[in-house]
Amino acid sequence: MKRRSFLQLSGMSLASSMLAGCRKGNEKLIPFLVPPEDGAIPGIANYYASTCRQCPAGCGVLVRVHEGRAQKVEGNPHHPVNQGKLCARGQAMLQELYHPDRIKQPLKRTGIRGSGQFIPISWDEALKQLAGALAPYQQKEQEGLLLFSAPLRGSLARLTGDFLQHFPKAQHLAWEPLSPEWLQQGLFGNPGIPDYDLGNTQYLLSFGADFLESHLSPVRYGHGFGHMRQERQTVRGRYSYIGPRLSLTAASADRWLPARPGTEWALAFGIIRRLLQEKSFDASALQAAGLSVTNVTELVANFNVQRVAEIADISPTEIRATINEAVSISPALALVGEMTAWQSNGSAAVAAVELLNLMLGNINRPGGLYFTPATDAHISSNYAELTGLIERMQQKKVQLALIYGCNPVFSIPSDSNFSAALANIPQIISFASFLDETSLQADLILPDHSNLESWGDIVPPAGTRQQVIGLIQPVVKPLHNTRAFPDVLLALAKGMGGNLAMQLPHESYLQWLEEDLIKRIPDLFIGDRRQQMDHLLQQGGWFGPELEPISPKALKRPERVVSPEFSGAQEQYPLQLQVYASVNFYDGRSSHLPWLQQLPDPMTTVVWGNWLEINPQTARKLGVNQGDLVEVSSPAGKLTLPAVLYPGLRPEVVACPIGQGHQGLGRYADRRGENPLKLIKETEASKQRLTWGGTRVQVRRLAASSGLVTAGHAEGSYHRDLLGL
Amino acid sequence: MTTRANRYDAVRMNREMLSSMSPPTWRWYLLAAVLGAVVAFGLYAFTVQVTTGMGVTGINRPVMWGIYIISFVFWVGLSHSGTMVSAILRLSKASWRRPILRGAEAMTVFSISVAGLFPLIHLGRNWIFYYLLPYPNQRGLWPNFRSPLLFDMVAINTYIIGSTIFLYIGLLPDLAVVRDCSSGWKKKIYAILAMGWRGSAEQWQVFSRGSTLLACLIIPVAVSVHSIVAWDFAVTLVPGWHSTIFAPYFVIGAITSGVAAVITLMIVIRKLFKLEEFLQPVHFDNMAKLLLAVCLLWSYFYFSEVFTTWYAHKPIEWEIFSFMSSRYGIMLLIMMLGNTIVPIIGLCFRQVRRSLPALLVITLLVNLAMFIERFLIVVPSLSHKNIPFIWGSYTPSWVELAIMVASFALFFLLYTLFAKFFPILAITDVREQEEVLLGSQQNGRTRLETLVKEE
Amino acid sequence: MNIETSEFHWGMVIDLDRCTGCGACVTACQAENNIPISEQDGIANGRNLHWIRIERYWEGEFPHVRARFLPMLCQHCDDAPCEPVCPVYASYHNPEGLNGQVYNRCVGTRYCANNCPYAVRVFNFFNPKWPKPLEQQLSPDVTVRSRGVMEKCSFCIQRIRRGKEQASLENRKLLDGEVMPACAQTCPPQAIIFGDLNDPDSRVSKLARSPRRFRLFEDLGTEPSVIYLKGGGHDHPG
Ligand SMILES: Nc1nc2c(c(=O)[nH]1)N[C@H]1C(S)=C(S)[C@@H](COP(=O)(O)OP(=O)(O)OC[C@H]3O[C@@H](n4cnc5c(=O)[nH]c(N)nc54)[C@H](O)[C@@H]3O)O[C@H]1N2
Ligand SMILES: Nc1nc2c(c(=O)[nH]1)N[C@H]1C(S)=C(S)[C@@H](COP(=O)(O)OP(=O)(O)OC[C@H]3O[C@@H](n4cnc5c(=O)[nH]c(N)nc54)[C@H](O)[C@@H]3O)O[C@H]1N2
Ligand code: SF4
Ligand code: SF4
Ligand code: SF4
Ligand code: SF4
Ligand code: SF4
């Protein structure tokens, strides 16, 4: 953002505060249209509303700014997604802004790729190079241009789309590991993700959905969870979790059903069978979705308690109790998550749980889930498109790659050969803020602003029943000589001239954003547009009226679920590896923030590293003690990790969080721990969908001590009794 | 004993007993240099700590106290040797005490001074140690008189002052002797130090009354100092520390270590100054019996502490015992051997009580065990305190060990210097004894109602 | 030590049935209170400086395993054992029921930390370091502590002050819920509730009367101002 753009707007009066009538107050909510150094009064803090981008959930934040410095990020209490709450990653976004290892100006590679040798260049030069590289692709037939980004939504999706229109053969791949495409391709195929009304349900069943840590919108669900448990006067919602690992989310459950990996769905069938038996299912919803009772009955006919218990390897008593609860407590809500979806049978398993919700009569009712129409532009790609791209890259069909807002070298299993394929691309241009695995391969880096220096909007992908457009506004002046990615696109358009310049004549992304918002937000038509805009910025976005829920149509008939497949021979690789998104680092994008590195992992209390979780019984057999260094090998590779004895894990399963093991990404993340995605063995099936839960491994003890540091005392962690708790 | 009468010659005796003050030999210099080097290294370690932070120690959460406090408690305990033993012996008029009085008293002064250094070394911000002093300041801020650390400071200072006066008063007649035997600037200094001692009857009378009075006063001070140190622990809520028995238990521990140290000292002095005639097996026998008694007492206290804990079986307290015996099992064993098993069994035998090598071994063992005991009081309790989640343990760092070793070196260095510049044997006392042995009651120029015959 | 000269008595309720152990409060507190970054070695050596921690306790063996979380911060004991042992009044009781810590006075005896049964006091073993420009985040409302001094949760006293100032500027009483410590503010399931225990109608007072209430180490007589609500299987909220 240029100062000029601020000044354009600085004629505006200081907007009134949200805290009504406190003129001499301590703090004010002001839009950043008034630059801090002019609008700020020394010694008095201001709050700016913005939106968190540490994960796609899009929680609203208020940033406390004191004399031009961002001091504290707080949840925006008026934001419908997070209602004033934030997760640890959201809290830590300040450290991204002030990170000592940010890329401070455009860089041009001088050494070999990956060597990390760059020289600083000017923006003019960088833009000239970029424009030069792009120019050929404006021709009709010119193939080979790739934009690789995280899924984009809202204004940025539209701007990128408009920009790429001028490059006829360009491919835009928008993918990130935790993007819920598997959910969108489930039974209903509604592109929007339903809003799960956790807060008002009485019985919650999670099928491998770690909704309190990484699944879709953890803060929103966390808030709902608190409400479900203790906010209502007379009821306390009960909650069961089924999945092979006692995750942070599972730890809060009243009952944990440690199912074999990839067998959680059997419980869904068991419940559906009982619903059918008792005729207590929602027949009208079934009909509305276009499904027949006979079909479903056939499908689940065999799934009595015994069968479910056998498939999942859980005691029949527990299964029976869970089924009883699920059919007798109403409303009962089922969530399905990555642990289930990431298996080879994931797509059918997800559909099974969605069918369960349908049968429970959960559609569009309190304590259930609401389907709302997809409301906004959004660009995202699925795993099959990704594997397709890798093939094209291997065939040297990509000549120029622009990489924005993602780190695919880190977050795609090495077995898929993405890195090798990347090396085939003659020119890689990155918009990264840090020298991570991917930007280290780039030839040119045009560093993006940090979130707290940017303009933008966010349409929460998982979410709310009302329409929400969260706004991102800069809260401080850019620290370094960086530029926002969309501003770079606009500058390019201007520089490249022609049609492109004509269609994208905007001075800045702010201007684009405003014009775009005007098209999308009805409120902006009422009254003084400027004032309205200020108001939205103060508020943190546009929170529209509640949308009319829609009845979902089933895209396909629910199908049989087969057993999950695992790569690697059982004899050689006796254990099953489950990778999961880290509570602290999400998919690894936050590992560079020291607050999060220092934050003990909630379940293992490990700090500054990662680990392999082994059930104590298994560990005993392997002769492994807490903290021992072990070697984990799979058909795809080998890693050396410290062992953590983890009682909440099936004995034949080992688990490892994704997020550490960076080669780059600044001093705090670099060469810390290992990336378990290196162990994932791809199969033919996994080219079609992400199946990261389907690899077998072998574990071998290497040495006694490995420098594992836990915040909690290993032995003391078993002495709750001493607290009199 | 009659032969001794022939040898009695006050002047010769003076000279003999002042022999330790003769100009130093190279050996003395070597010893002083080695001790000085160790002290200097300790100082270096301390400098490192002050300039970088307490982080260079092994201190952590939950073990916020370590070697410094352990050393502090140990040295305070040791300091009971001298003044208290000497005072008790003085009051009980055991005449064989004479040759060791001075050495024992000096031991007290130096060990309590060394002890006093540790709380200062231990502070996170040593440079503002004076916040603990109740000095008038513009902020009108006073220290917290409820804090045992403040009692400590008062008690330690009182003890340092008291025992120094005690030592000094006892020194007066001897300083006069030294003054009379020296010349030049030395004479001037000793003249000042002797404070005009002339040995008049009146002076002797005051001296005698004063010594007895001081001896009476110093005993409660010594007892209170160690009780107060015990309160540092006993007033807390730390499981294992929170115990009513701590005050007497600590005092007994201190006396144990003190008595053992006095016996060690007796052996050393006897050897160095060839005092075989004064310090006879029977004296060692007596002291050993005393040691046996305090060891029995100490063991009683220790085991009643353990048994009460076992009987009550408060989970957290029992946890600390279990942790101590597993993690510090060997240390616990040495402590048991050194404070209970070896002295109690060994000292039952007359031959052992009268064998100097055996006594030397036992007394050194007792003090080693006592140091370990201090460690086992401080560390295990803190390691496994109430909150299991943050349990930990403690290993001292090189800085702490260097400072601890330096404290021993400093003690010996001070002692060596003292022996060089002051009469380490109480000249007048010993002469008095000679005179007793000669049947003479003459003391100075006056006749005093004095001494009980030996045995 | 119930010598109250103030209308407020700050207290906190932590509902263990809501707490999911997510750790957001830990980072929020670190951000709010200028808590230095502790490196791996530091934490390995017991020098973590967090003012609030989430204790995780395991129970049972597979498959009957449970993990329980216990957020632990200074309990602001009314009869705080850390206070009488401090020789310089650096650890003191304020009229509003807070256990205050005066960094300037602390000489670093670490006695208070030994005597705190909740082990929430942390010591600055070294001077804090923030590689530039990370230090720009530091809040001017909170002192940066030098080495050699003790610190711990302050119940976000700066926020209490700010709230009271605001109320007095507006010439009104402080509202219930107006002052929110950073940890309570961010906690997604709202497990932490803060407020005035002197006001019987405040949310915190009401919750503190819940049948699920308990305080840690009640037998030690420390009279904590932090009240926990039992988690798991208690069907009726307070
Ligand atoms: N650079 C700069 N210099 C200034 C000023 C300025 O604003 N900037 N202001 C000036 C003014 S107006 C003033 S009043 C002076 C203030 O100057 P000082 O009087 O030096 O005040 P402080 O810097 O606040 O330092 C107070 C010191 O007191 C110590 N302290 C706390 N409790 C106790 C205690 O019980 N006993 C003792 N002995 N010490 C204690 C603290 O550790 C701290 O080091 O500085 C003047 N000089
Ligand atoms: N946290 C914390 N707070 C403190 C202290 C502390 O140590 N810590 N110290 C306290 C102490 S000791 C003091 S003295 C106060 C100081 O607090 P203040 O008295 O607020 O001192 P200054 O910040 O120096 O502000 C003086 C103002 O006077 C203006 N000025 C300068 N010359 C003149 C003049 O000739 N005429 C007029 N009209 N104005 C002029 C300056 O521009 C400045 O705005 O702070 C107190 N507050
Ligand atoms: S859930 Fe995602 S968007 Fe919300 S605060 Fe956490 S990281 Fe930010
Ligand atoms: S933020 Fe709330 S839910 Fe999360 S750990 Fe802290 S108290 Fe528990
Ligand atoms: S919890 Fe510890 S630090 Fe806090 S008031 Fe109580 S004793 Fe003091
Ligand atoms: S460490 Fe500081 S606050 Fe604690 S007792 Fe010592 S001086 Fe007081
Ligand atoms: S009340 Fe404030 S200082 Fe205390 S733990 Fe919470 S955020 Fe930290």
3-state secondary structure of A217: coil
Question: For chain B, which residues score pLDDT lower than 70?
Answer: 1-13, 15-17, 94-96, 432-455
Count CB atoms within 10 A of the CB of residue A502.
Answer: 9
Q: Provide the sign of the torsion angle of the four alpha carbons B254, B257, B262, B268, taken in this order.
A: negative
Angle (CA) A358-A359-A365 rounded to 5° is 55
Phi and psi, residue A264, nearest 5°: -60, -35
CATH architecture of the domain with residue range A575-722: Beta Barrel (2.40)
Q: Is residue B455 part of a domain?
A: no
Residue A96: nearest ligand to its CA? 3
* DSSP-assigned letters across all residues of A354-410: HHHHHHTT-BTSTTSEE-----S-EE---HHHHHHHHHHHHTT---EEEEES--HHH
Alpha-carbon gap: B79 to the closest alpha carbon of chain C (Å): 23
Q: Whose CA is nearest to atom 4 of ligand 6?
A: C112
* Contact map slice: B 25-54 vs C, CB within 8 A: 52-54
pLDDT band at A523; cut points 50, 70, 90 = confident
Distance C154 CA to ligand 5 centre (A): 10
User: Peptide bond preceding C133: is omega within 30 degrees of 0, i.e. cis?
Assistant: yes
For the domain A195-370, what is the CATH code? 3.40.228.10
> Is residue B65 within 8 Å of B54, Cβ to Cβ?
no
Burial of A459 (0-12, 13-18, 19+ CB in 10 A): buried
Q: Read off the tokens for C158.
A: 């700066």
- Contact pairs from chain A to chain C, CB under 8 Å: 240
Q: Which two tokens stand for residue B221?
A: 């001070």
Task: For residue C38, give how far its alpha carbon lies from the nearest alpha carbon of chain A (Å).
Answer: 7
CA distances from A63 to A39, A51, A468, B36, C30 (A): 15, 10, 20, 59, 15
Nearest ligand to residue C231 Cα: 4
User: Is there a contact between B131 and C55 if contact means CB atoms under 8 Å apart?
Assistant: no
Residues contacting residue A198 through CB under 8 Å, at least 6 positions apart: A204, A211, A221, A224, A225, A227, A228, A333
A722 and chain B: CB distance < 8 Å anywhere? yes
Between the CA of A222 and the centroid of ligand 4 the distance, in Å, is 9
**How close B390 gets to chain A, by Cα (Å)?**
6
Residue B377 φ/ψ, nearest 5 degrees: -75, -45
Q: Which CATH architecture has domain A3-97?
A: Single Sheet (2.20)
| Strand blocks (E) in C49-120 | 53-59, 66-72, 91-93, 99-101
Tokens 């304020």 sit at which residue? C94
Measured in Å, residue C52 CA sits from the centre of ligand 7 at 7
Q: Is A50 helix (H, G, I), strand (E, B) or coil?
A: strand
Among C25, C68, C227, name the best residue to mutate to test ligand 4's pocket (greatest count of ligand atoms within 8 A of Cβ): C25
Dihedral sign computed on CA atoms, order A162, A163, A169, A171:
negative
Angle at A702 between CA A700 and CA A706, to 5 degrees: 120
Can you give the residue ranges of every domain in chain C?
A: 3-229
- Is the per-residue pLDDT at A68 higher than 80? yes
Which ipTM was obtained for this model?
Answer: 0.88
Beta bridge partners of A11: none
Question: In percent, how much of chain A has pLDDT > 90?
Answer: 76
Within-domain flag for B11: no
Question: Is residue A337 scored above 60 in pLDDT?
Answer: yes
- DSSP letters along B17-61, please? HTGGGSPP-HHHHHHHHHHHHHHHHHHHHHHHHHHH-GGGSS--S
Listing DSSP states for B310-360 in one string gives HHH--HHHHHHHHHHHHHTHHHHHHHHIIIIIHHHHHTTSHHHHH-HHHHH
Give the start-to-end residue ranges of the domains of chain A.
3-97, 107-177+380-454+482-539, 195-370, 575-722
pLDDT 10s digit of each residue in chain C, 238 long?
Answer: 455 578 899 999 999 999 999 999 999 999 999 999 999 999 999 999 999 999 999 999 999 999 999 999 999 999 999 999 999 999 999 999 999 999 999 999 999 999 999 999 999 999 999 999 999 999 999 999 999 999 999 999 999 999 999 999 999 999 999 999 999 999 999 999 999 999 999 999 999 999 999 999 999 999 999 999 998 754 443 3
Whether the Cβ atoms of residue B124 and residue C147 lie closer than 8 Å to each other: yes
Structure confidence by residue, pLDDT tens digits, A206-234: 999 999 999 999 999 999 999 999 999 88
**CA nearest A620: which of A577, A578, A651, A650?**
A651
* Fold assignment, A107-177+380-454+482-539: Rossmann fold (3.40.50)
C-alpha span between C173 and B455 (Å, rounded)? 85
**Which chains neighbour B (Cβ–Cβ under 8 Å, 3 or more pairs)?**
A, C
pLDDT digits (tens, 9 = 90+) for A586-609: 999 999 999 999 999 999 999 999
| Helix pair B98-122, B427-437: axis angle to 10 deg | 160
**Structural domain tally of chain B?**
1
Q: Which residues contact B207 (CB under 8 A, 6 or more apart)?
A: B169, B172, B173
What's the token pair of residue B226?
């160690």
pLDDT one-digit tens code per residue, C57-68: 999 999 999 999
SS3 A27: strand
Contact A720 B316 (CB under 8 A): no
A505 inside 8 A of chain B by CB: no
Whole-number Å distance between alpha carbons of A325 and A204: 10
Ligand 7 neighbour C155 (Cβ under 6 A)? yes
Q: How many CB atoms lie within 10 A of CB A19?
A: 15
**Chain C contact present for A219, CB below 8 A:** yes
Comparing A522 with B307, the larger pLDDT belongs to B307
Question: What are B262's two structure tokens?
Answer: 């006095």
Query: Looking at the domain C3-229, which fold is it?
Result: Alpha-Beta Plaits (3.30.70)
A197-233 burial code (b ≥16 CB/10 A, e <16): bbbbbbbbbbbbbbbbbbbbbbbbbbbbbbbbbbbee
What is the DSSP-derived secondary structure letter of residue A245? B
Question: What is the position in ligand 5's atom list of the atom closest to the CA of C226?
Answer: 1
Q: How many CB atoms lie within 10 A of CB B201?
A: 13
CATH of the domain at B261: 1.20.1630.10
Nearest to A593, CA basis, from A152, A98, A27: A98
Give A577's Cβ-side CA count (13 Å radius). 33
Domain assignment present for residue B439? The answer is no
Say whether A716 and B319 touch across the interface (CB within 8 A): no
* A3-97 matches A575-722 in fold: no
* Torsions phi, psi for A529 (to 5 deg): -60, -40
Q: What spacing in Å lies between the alpha carbon of C232 and ligand 4's midpoint?
A: 15
**Rg value, chain C, Cα:** 18
- Cα–Cα distance for residue pair A334/A356, rounded to 1 Å: 7
Beta bridge partners of C229: C15, C213
Ligand nearest to the CA of B150: 6
- Domain range for residue B277? 24-434
Q: Does B385 lie at the interface with A, CB-CB under 8 angstroms?
A: no
Dist. CA C49 → ligand 1 center (Å): 26
For A623, counting Cβ atoms within 10 Å of its Cβ (0-12 exposed, 13-18 middle, 19+ buried), the class is exposed
Contact present, A447 and A482 (Cβ < 8 Å): yes
Ligand 7 binding pocket includes C179 (Cβ within 6 Å): no
Q: Which of residues 564-593 of A touch C (CB under 8 A)?
A: 583-584
Q: Which ligand is nearest to the CA of A74?
A: 3
| CB contact (8 A) between residue C27 and residue A88 | yes
Q: Report the predicted TM-score, pTM, of the whole model to 2 decimal places.
A: 0.89
| pLDDT at position A25 | 47
Ligand 1 binding pocket includes B127 (Cβ within 6 Å): no
- Work out which ligand 4 atom sits closest to the CA atom of C20: 3
CA of A608 to the centre of ligand 5 (A): 28
